[in-house]
Amino acid sequence: MKKVKKVGMSIAWFCLGTLMLHAQERKGVTIEHLGTNNTLVRITEVGKYLLLPIQDNGEEATVNIVADGKQERSIVARLATSKVDYTVPLDLTPYRGKQVVLNILTTQGRNSVREAKQDVCWKNFSVSDTYDATNREKYRPAFHHTPLYGWMNDPNGMVYKDSVWHLCYQWNPYGSKWQNMTWGHSTSRDLIHWEHHEPALLPDGLGTIFSGSSAIDHANSAGFGKDAVVAMYTSAAASQMQSLAYSTDGGHTFTTYPGNPVLTLESEARDPNMWWNEKQGQWNLVLAHALEKEMLFFASPDMKKWTLQSRFGKDLGAQDGVWECPDLFELPVAGSDEKRWVLLCNINPGGPFGGSATQYFVGEWDGRSFKADTDAQGNVPTKWMDYGKDHYATVSWSDVPDGRRTVIGWMSNWQYAAEVPTLQFRSANTLPRELGLFKDADGQYYLSSTPSPELEALRDKRMQYIRQLSVGKRARTVALPTQNDGICEILLEMDARRATSITLTLSNKADETVAMTYDATKNEVSFDRTRSGITDFSQDFPSVTVAPTHTTDGKLNLRIFIDRSSIELFEQNGRLAMTNLVFPTAPYSTLTLQAEGGNARVNKLTIYSLQTIF
């Protein structure tokens, strides 16, 4: 026995000796290649982070994080093969005092170990106590919420608690394309400035963390504590299941419920949105039955046991894509005592201008089921919340006081979100908006969206104030602010009078333009970004979007927010909202006004420069 052991030991020493010959010492790590597609990165120094070298369009590698021999996590990262575009930090603090090894599986496509060793990532791993998240990108918005780094999609788990707006979001901390979904977490006290925190939810044995909602359990019906913030989200692995996590510190940190998942189905369903139903004394939940293109409604006494109550949507509304990210709430109708229910139903693809968009249904909710209003022909009309290309996954904050229904959306489109010309981060959220309802001449109820009132505090200087300007064929030009890359807010009260159309053109020194045209004959506003700057990263990006104005008197009061890579256009009373990304190579510096068919009048034009939120 003794002899055998000795032989065994010496073989081990021999092997280690050979391995060490091939190992390369680099900045706190040792790299050991095990074959054409398998490499070990051993951490040899104590530090807060391991910086992973990423190539944005690189191939995906599976990185298994092993501490003291136990697999702790597995992430997918595009480790750099020919060039390092940026690094992302892997937090090592949970493994302090342990021996950490990354067991990495790379592409199968290498012919030899020699070839696999050429990948630049192996020379560029390093252990560090800091990660520099300073923004260096020209297209990072100056007054919109963005993640510090990494990829973001849907807003999640939004709740207002103790005067704090919590905003979680689908976040990939390990690269600027979709993967490794966690709930990133930011908070704000004014809906303008955002503080970034550790992720609220990390993947666990049930899967990565997809979209969901948070609600305050005022009555402690789930038993997590009075006023606990309870998050319900989709655990996504081979299948999708619904899980709970709760916070007893006001929504700052979460504990996952040991009894997860709390709701399973035999088909794909995701993005749970729950709320307390005061009348019936129960929790309600709307869940997207994604591929069936319908919404499922459930009820529960305690958020843990759910009973299916009804389904809505089969063959109704836009059906050209999967249904995702639902929300249901009641809203007052402007100028009346009436109230109606609104069901948000994000759809991808199948939006009015291709790709993703937010459709909604107005109707009645009796505590069990939702019934949509019909038009004069008895059909359920398709309605869109925003007529731009970059408004998706919009849902509302829960528990906002004063009857407000505040929403925020992901300001991108699945058609090209992963290709937009940014690097350290991808995607911003829209400005927060307040929802209302109005009844139009066709007897239908429509959603109104207006920028949240808090946003007025962004205004810096009033740069232009023009009254009574007659606009005709001859172009009238107005300078736009130049500070902070020209970020600004434009308020424009106009009356088409004899004009058939009025065009507002934003242009820069590179002759890049965005044309926004009010067609007074069709009562439509269009937004043309085909020549807006960089547009060639996707054939789906150059586009013209068109929105109905829901007005007929030729008068339009526009409010336009221009950030470094986005333009949001609203009608003052919220009857029109249009959100579009733009990537001008230089800031738009001029606004040109022109009218066709006769003279129009601008009653008032005000332009504010805005402050950055950094």
Q: What is the distance in angstroms between the CA of the first residue and the CA of the last residue of the chain?
A: 68
Hey, which residues does 270 pair with through a beta bridge? 288
Q: Between 87 and 126, how does the x/- string for binding to ligand FRU read (CB under 6 A)?
A: ----------------------------------------
Site for ligand FRU in 13-52 (CB under 6 A): none
List the 459-471 sheet strands across, edge first.
459-471, 600-610, 488-495, 555-563, 566-571, 577-581
213 binds ligand FRU per the rule CB under 6 A: no
211 binds ligand FRU (CB under 6 A): yes
Nearer to ligand FRU, 181 or 480 (CB): 181
Nearest approach in angstroms of CB 209 to ligand FRU is 9
Closest residue to ligand FRU in the complex (CB): 210
Q: Give the nearest distance from C-beta 270 to ligand FRU in angstroms.
A: 5
Residue type, 348: N
CA distance 374 to 397: 28
- Among 325, 558, 562, 610, the residue binding ligand FRU under the rule CB under 6 A is 325
Minimum distance from CB of 188 to ligand FRU (Å)? 22
Report whether 560 contacts 567 (CB < 8 A). Answer: yes
Residues 559, 548: Cα–Cα separation, whole Å: 16
The catalytic position among 154, 386, 390, 563 is 154
State which residue, 53 or 184, has the beta carbon closest to ligand FRU.
184
Least separation in angstroms between CB 346 and ligand FRU:
7
Q: Which is nearer to ligand FRU, 151 or 445 (CB)?
A: 151
Total residues contacting ligand FRU (rule CB under 6 A)?
Answer: 12
Q: Please report, as residue ranges, which positions from 339 to 398 form the binding site for ligand FRU (by CB under 6 A).
A: 393
Q: Which of 55, 87, 170, 358 binds ligand FRU (CB under 6 A)?
A: 170
Query: Whole-angstrom Cα distance, residue 420 to residue 580?
Result: 13
Question: 467 - beta bridge partners?
Answer: 604
Per the CB < 8 A criterion, the answer to whether 592 and 479 are in contact is no
Range 246-285, binding ligand FRU (CB under 6 A): 270-271
CA distance linking residue 298 with residue 307, whole number of Å: 5
Q: Are 142 and 484 in contact (CB under 8 A)?
A: yes
294 binds ligand FRU (CB under 6 A): no
- Shortest distance in whole angstroms from residue 344 CB to ligand FRU: 12
Q: Which of residues 532-551 bind ligand FRU (CB under 6 A)?
A: none
Q: Based on CB atoms, which residue is closest to ligand FRU, 170 or 430?
A: 170
Give least dist CB 153 to ligand FRU, A. Answer: 5
In angstroms, what is the minimal distance from the CB of 211 to ligand FRU? 4
Among 324, 386, 390, 519, contact with ligand FRU (rule: CB under 6 A): 324
Would you state the structure tokens that stand for residue 180, as one six-digit string? Answer: 């490794």
Q: Nearest CA to 409 among 177, 194, 173, 152? A: 152
Using the minimum distance from each CB to ligand FRU, give the nearer residue, 395 or 494.
Answer: 395
Q: Whose Cβ is closer to ligand FRU: residue 166's or residue 391's?
A: 391
Q: Which is nearer to ligand FRU, 161 or 177 (CB)?
A: 177
Q: Which pair of tokens denotes residue 225?
A: 């504590």
| CA–CA dist 460, 142 (Å, integer) | 13
Task: Decide: 359 and 379 in contact? Cβ < 8 Å.
Answer: no
Q: How far apart are CA 477 and CA 444, in angstroms?
A: 39
Q: Which of 151, 171, 210, 360 binds ligand FRU (CB under 6 A)?
A: 210
Token pair recorded at residue 535: 């547009």
At 531, give phi and psi (nearest 5°): -120, 30
Beta-strand (E) ranges in 92-217? 100-105, 126-128, 150-161, 164-172, 182-188, 195-201, 208-217
Instruction: Report if residue 181 touches ligand FRU, rule: CB under 6 A.
Output: yes
154 included as an active-site residue: yes
Least Å distance between CB 242 and ligand FRU? 11
| Residue 66 bridge partners (DSSP) | 71, 101
At 117, give phi and psi (nearest 5°): -70, -20
Residues 226-245 that bind ligand FRU (CB under 6 A): 234
Q: How far apart are CA 25 and CA 2, in angstroms?
A: 35
55 binds ligand FRU (CB under 6 A): no
Peptide bond into 332 cis (omega under 30): no
Given the complex with ligand FRU, which of 263 and 516 has the nearer CB atom?
263
> CA-to-CA distance for 196 and 237, rounded, in angstroms?
27
Q: What residues from 145 to 164 belong to the interface with ligand FRU (CB under 6 A)?
A: 153-154
Q: Which is nearer to ligand FRU, 95 or 298 (CB)?
A: 298
Shortest distance (Å) from residue 66 CB to ligand FRU: 27
- Best CA proximity match to 316, nearest among 339, 297, 341, 343: 343
Query: Given the rule CB under 6 A, which residues bind ligand FRU?
Result: 153-154, 170, 181, 210-211, 234, 270-271, 324-325, 393
Active site residues: 154
